[in-house]
Amino acid sequence: MPRSGRHRAMLARWAVTLLSLTWSTYHSLAIPQVTECGLSCSQGFTCRNHMNRNVFNSFCRHPPPSMSRSVLESLMLSTVMKCAPQDGCSLLLRVQASLTLHESLRGLEACSMSLDTKETHCHNMRVSRASRRQQVGQQLQVHFNCFEVSMAQSLYITLRTVPHFCGVQLDQQYHVEDCRDEDVGRNVPDCFAEKLSYWVDRSRKVVLVQVPEAPGSPDYYLRLCLKWVTCEDAGELVRVTANSVSRMVSLPYSQEMPCLCLESWPATPDAVRTQACPFENDTEALWDAIHYHPGSQALSWEPACPVSGHVSLCWHPGPGAHCLELENSERPAHGRVQYLLVDTQPQLCLKFSTSLGFWVRCPFKQPRFPAWKMTIQWAPSRAHLRVAFFSPSPTSFQVRLCHRRKMWPLACHRTLQATPLPPASVSRGDLTTDPPVAFVDIPRDEACGPDTCIQGWRTDMHFSAPQQLCNLQCGTHDVPWPPLARATAEAQTPWTSDLTELHGRELRVKK
């Protein structure tokens, strides 16, 4: 044969070898099927299977001096499938072990423990007495195919000798394939539930589910649930039978919540449940679960779904301003949050911060909540300004003098305690006509100025939002009162438009 012909023939043989290796590798990646659940041993050995569902004996004996601790040579684990035409396929764990037979060994024990439930199943393999006498020193290969497993199950496998000799043991963890594996997803009935199709009709507030038909597929359970550690019922449990005329199911819901999920599972023992959560980005409803308790003056919030983030109290210095957090008010948002002795001012709000952004809710903007008012007028001495507080009930107040800076917070340097006044004998319940309950006189030179702010707040509360007046144009002693009165009125005008913060931005909603 010419040299070029020999070269082409050699390349052809290499190509065939490479294709064979590639084909073998491809098939080795697929999950093999078995027809029987059984035990097999190397040729020339006679073995029998003993099944034991009890936890294996933890006591061991010292091995004889002639036995090496490496008598157990290898432990290999893999998944196999056993299939029936009408019922689909079930998963089994194949345990392959090899050992050097010693005269003191009677067999092997392989145990599988679920890391989730701690349930343990064991198989014992015994070598016949005749094989033990004839095959001492020979390598024994053993295949167990009878460990029933579930998809996505985490297992701890232990291989020991029979009898159990101390220190002669092999251990290995194993994770069973789940529905993402092509063979498992195509053949195991539990995976058919993951192929459900669903649509959300928000106008009717229903989730429409289409259950697929498959040969030998079992009945299915469907429900809506709130997903916490477990999925809690949030609707009726529906069973779709294999012979149902219609396999379309309508599941109603009351509110879109991020943890409201569709759960489905086949009606088989120990079936794996799958969830799909169509509203996982609908977080708006979470922030409305705010409650105020007038008796204890406590403000609380409790999430209807798991939340990762934090909650804090904040206050608006004025209409359209950012909500400034109160000191020592930040709480983790993992569960119920409660603030005791909270001042019911309209500018006091709750701020919710998560990885998706932040949201603000101001529960006291409604007129039904009692509020106090701060005004500024000339004091009788005319060399001072009088900060007066009006409240429907006796209350303690403080005043703080602050100066504006380029960045918040203000630079506050002086705090004054308000002097209480005797309560009025007759109160009309109107802050505009009732006399003040407390006051503070501040020197005019300290209170007036373009960068000066006066803050007043309650001191008998744990959490109080200050009222703030800035840039008082006091003028001279001869300037009549109305200009100062107008500044006070403008600063105290309550805002009634809703402020909603979404994804880190404030949106002003028109009145």
In DSSP notation, 300-330 reads: EE--SS---EEEEEEE-SSTTPPPEEPTT--
Please give the helix or strand (H or E) that residue 40 lies within, else none: strand 39-41
pTM: 0.56
Name which of 48-52, 342-346, 478-482 the model is least confident about.
Answer: 478-482
If DSSP codes are grouped into helix, strand and coil, which group holds residue 488? Answer: helix
Q: Which residue has the higher pLDDT, 37 or 61?
A: 61
Query: Mean pLDDT across the stretch 167-178?
Result: 92
The CA dihedral of 6, 9, 10, 13, to the nearest 10 degrees, is -160
Element (H, E) at 183: helix 182-187
Q: How confident is the model at residue 116 (pLDDT cuts 50, 70, 90)?
A: confident
- Segment (H or E) for 291: strand 290-293
In a 3-state reduction of DSSP, which class is residue 426? coil
Average of pLDDT values for 69-80? 92
**Amino acid 179: pLDDT:** 80
pLDDT in tens, 222-272: 999 998 888 889 889 999 887 776 778 999 999 999 999 999 888 876 677
Q: Which of 113-122, 218-227, 233-242, 495-504 has the lowest mean pLDDT?
A: 495-504
Per-residue pLDDT reduced to its tens digit, 369-406: 888 889 998 888 878 899 999 988 888 999 999 887 76
The position carrying tokens 């009935």 is 189
- What tens digit of pLDDT does each residue of 1-33 get? 455 454 444 444 444 344 333 333 333 448 998
Token pair 């917070």 is at which residue?
A: 409
Strands 220-227 and 238-240 turn out to be antiparallel
What is the mean pLDDT of the segment spanning 453-476? 85
- Residue 501 confidence class, pLDDT cut points 50, 70, 90: very low
Residues facing 485 on adjacent strands: none
State residue 326's pLDDT score: 92
| 511 compared with 334, residue with greater pLDDT | 334
| Position 487 confidence tier, pLDDT thresholds 50, 70, 90 | very low
Tokens, residue 199: 């649509």
d(CA 277, CA 256): 10
pLDDT at 132: 82
Residue 80 and residue 28 in contact, taking contact as beta carbons nearer than 8 Å = no
Instruction: Considering only residues 2 and 349, tell me which one the structure prediction assigns the higher pLDDT.
Output: 349
- Could you give the percent of the chain with pLDDT greater than 90? 29
State the pLDDT at residue 15: 44
Nearest to 470, CA basis, from 410, 392, 383: 410
Closest by Cα among 379, 363, 373 to 393:
373
Cα dihedral angle (370, 371, 372, 373), rounded to 10 degrees? -130
Say what the pLDDT of residue 432 is.
60
pLDDT over 80 at 183, yes or no = yes
Q: Give the pLDDT of residue 431.
A: 62
State how beta strands 337-339 and 298-301 pair: antiparallel
- What string of H, E and C letters represents the secondary structure of 67-133? CCCCCEEEEEEEEEEEEECCCEEEEEEEEEEEEECCCCCCEEEEEEEECCCCCEEEEEEEECHHHHH
User: 151: pLDDT confidence band, cut at 50, 70 and 90?
Assistant: confident
> Between 505 and 470, where is the model more confident?
470
CB 154, CB 172: distance < 8 Å: no
Best-predicted range by mean pLDDT (37-46, 81-90, 209-218, 457-466): 457-466
Six-digit token string for 72: 């157990």
pLDDT given for residue 173 in this prediction: 95
pLDDT category of residue 54 using cuts at 50, 70 and 90? very low
Confidence bin at 471 (pLDDT 50/70/90): confident
Q: Are 313 and 463 in contact (CB under 8 A)?
A: yes
Question: Residue 480: its pLDDT value, please?
Answer: 38
Lowest-pLDDT range of 50-64, 298-312, 390-404, 455-469: 50-64
- On whether the CB atoms of residues 242 and 217 are closer than 8 A, the answer is yes
Instruction: Report how far apart, in Å, the C-alpha atoms of 370 and of each of 100, 225, 392 are.
Output: 87, 39, 7
Beta bridge partners of 492: none
Quick count: other Cβ atoms within 10 Å of Cβ 409?
Answer: 11
CA angle 457, 460, 462 (to 5 degrees): 85
Mean pLDDT of 70-80: 93
Contacts (Cβ under 8 Å, ≥6 apart) of 89: 33, 81, 82, 83, 187, 188
pLDDT mean over 158-176: 92
Res 284 pLDDT > 90: no
d(Cα 318, Cα 494) in Å, to the nearest integer?
9
**CA–CA distance, 133 with 171 (Å, rounded to integer):** 28
If you average pLDDT over every residue of the chain, what do you get? Answer: 79
